Amino acid sequence: MKPRIEKAVVLGAGTMGSRIAAHLANAGLPCILLDIVPPNLPVDAPSGERNKIVRAGLDAAKKSKPATFFTAALAEKIAIGNFEDDLGRCAEADWIIEVVAENLEIKRKLLARVAQFRKPGAMVTTNTSGLPVRLIAEGMSEEFQQHWAGTHFFNPPRYLKLVEVIPGPKTSKDVVETLSEFCDRRLGKGVVVAKDTPNFIANRIGTFSMLNALRLMGTLGMTVEEVDACTGPAVGWPKSATFRTADIVGLDVLLHVVKNIYETAPNDESREIYKVPTLVGEMAKRGWLGDKTGQGFYKKLTGQGEKEILTLDVHTMEYRTRQKARFASLEMAKAIEDTRERLCALVGPVLEGQKGDKAQQFLWGGLSETCLYAARRVLEISDSVVDVDRAMRWGFGWELGPFEIMDAIGVKAFAGQVQKEGRALPAVIEKVLASGRKGFNESEKVTTPVFDIATGGAAAKLSTIPGPA
């Protein structure tokens, strides 16, 4: 019988833990939020003092903007406690979500304690963004591991649609289905099932795209504003584009993801791109981590009621007045409403053997490398091109995922230009070309025959592909 979810415990009241608990409350699910007791407190300290950290986490969630809770009253659905006095309340939960520090030993020690109280059949998941799911629960009982998985929410959980469900080696099919259905129907999420590989699907592809943009910025001599002009709405990506997104996320978080992939993906043929870029390393050394420190790629000055945005000059490492990026190709593209048509217009000259302006050179270099990377990785990180596309749409706010981008440009034209430039075609693209299909998705209809990467394709399977989140 499939597990039911009627009550949850969230372990960890930091930014993600408190906001996951809030979204569970939004969905009407009673929830208990636990965190550590402040260090050096006397044993007989009152509960108010012992719950100081968890209360601060919940209070921060209540005050956060954009709003974490649908209504302020929903916060009452969350009970609070600490790991020393209240861990036994895990026995009440059908779903226990671990959201503590990204440290393997911390997670393992906490889960070993949780296992003493967890009722048989209760599901336990981790919100890790990069640690191997299988290692966190290694050595736990068979029954525990059958009910164990990763559930990677994206921040902020109320607003970002994606949840990656990552089965462990012994996770039961019923558990995967229950978690997927609950996140979809009750929490309103877009769910993709990811394989237990470094940083799963969205962060693996998204981080590559960001690092490749940094590389191309240096190669083409572009400014921060010029890169962001190319990687925003012009290609169907959010207004925050590349560097504003990095500031929002935090360069410390970006560095953590980059280092994790470099250390844990030794067989990735593009591994060298995951070496910490000199520019980002220098910014981190200076404490320029983005919004959380007041400056990153951009710096906000406030004075006399006015706000001015400065931009980092990556050559002098000084901030200067923000400059408007001016490219004829991007101005032309503004008149094209459909993203697929706009992409074709932007990269079309390159596909026709022309050089194009600097923006077009950047876009072709950035989009083509990201699409090729996704095609090389897809069988490693997922069972489906659809899930890779969905992960990028729902987690990063792209209007089109990498396989949809290739379809929009035309897989044959895309492959032809890649080969002209002496770059290798991944096997999955060669299979599509050999199958005689137009692309990975035969049409733009909602229900569309999708190329089956497992079989190579003549017998296409049906798959529902929702529009952008």
Helix or strand run (H / E) with residue 307: strand 306-313
Residues 359, 387: one domain? yes
Of 408 and 306, the one with more pLDDT: 408
Residues 214, 105: one domain? no
Query: What is the SS3 string spanning 210-249?
Result: HHHHHHHHHHHCCCHHHHHHHCCHHHCCCCCCCHHHHHHH
Helices 402-409/411-420 angle, 10° precision? 90
Residues 17, 54: one domain? yes
Instruction: Specify the range with the lowest mean pLDDT, choosing from 68-82, 350-364, 405-419, 443-457.
Output: 443-457
* E-assigned strand segments in 54-138: 78-82, 95-98, 123-126
Residues 214, 188: one domain? no
Among residues 152, 169, 193, the one where a domain terminates is 193
Q: What is the pLDDT of residue 463?
A: 38
Q: What is the pLDDT of residue 302?
A: 77
Residue 317 lies inside a defined structural domain of this protein:
no
Among residues 141, 176, 193, the one where a domain terminates is 193
For Cα atoms 23, 26, 29, give the angle at the middle one, nearest 5 degrees. Answer: 90
Residue 1 lies inside a defined structural domain of this protein:
no
State the CATH number of the domain containing residue 244: 1.10.1040.50
Residue 376 lies inside a defined structural domain of this protein:
yes
Residues 142, 225: one domain? no
Range of the domain at 248: 202-297+324-464
Indicate the number of domains in the chain: 2
Of 86 and 445, the one with more pLDDT: 86
Q: What is the pLDDT of residue 42?
A: 86
Give the phi and the psi of residue 165 in degrees, each rounded to 5. Answer: -95, 125
Q: What is the pLDDT of residues 9-18, one digit of tens each?
A: 999 999 999 9
CA distances from 228 to 66, 212, 347 (A): 23, 13, 17
Question: Are 63 and 123 within 8 A, CB to CB?
Answer: no
Residue 124 lies inside a defined structural domain of this protein:
yes
Give the phi and the psi of residue 291 in degrees, each rounded to 5. Answer: -55, -35
Residues 424, 381: one domain? yes
Alpha-carbon distance 382 to 374, whole Å? 10
Residues 187, 211: one domain? no
Q: What is the pLDDT of residues 432-469, one digit of tens each?
A: 999 988 899 865 444 456 667 666 653 343 333 333 33
Residues 289, 183: one domain? no
Alpha-carbon distance 396 to 309, whole Å? 24
Q: What is the pLDDT of residues 232-258, one digit of tens each?
A: 999 999 999 999 999 999 999 999 999
Residues 381, 400: one domain? yes
Residues 253, 111: one domain? no
User: Does the pLDDT value for residue 276 go beyond 70?
Assistant: yes
Q: What is the pLDDT of residue 464?
A: 35
Mean pLDDT over the full length of the chain: 93
Among residues 148, 173, 193, the one where a domain terminates is 193
- Of 98, 101, 99, give the one whose Cα is nearest residue 140: 98
Q: What is the pLDDT of residue 301?
A: 87
Alpha-carbon distance 425 to 427, whole Å? 6
Residue 172 lies inside a defined structural domain of this protein:
yes
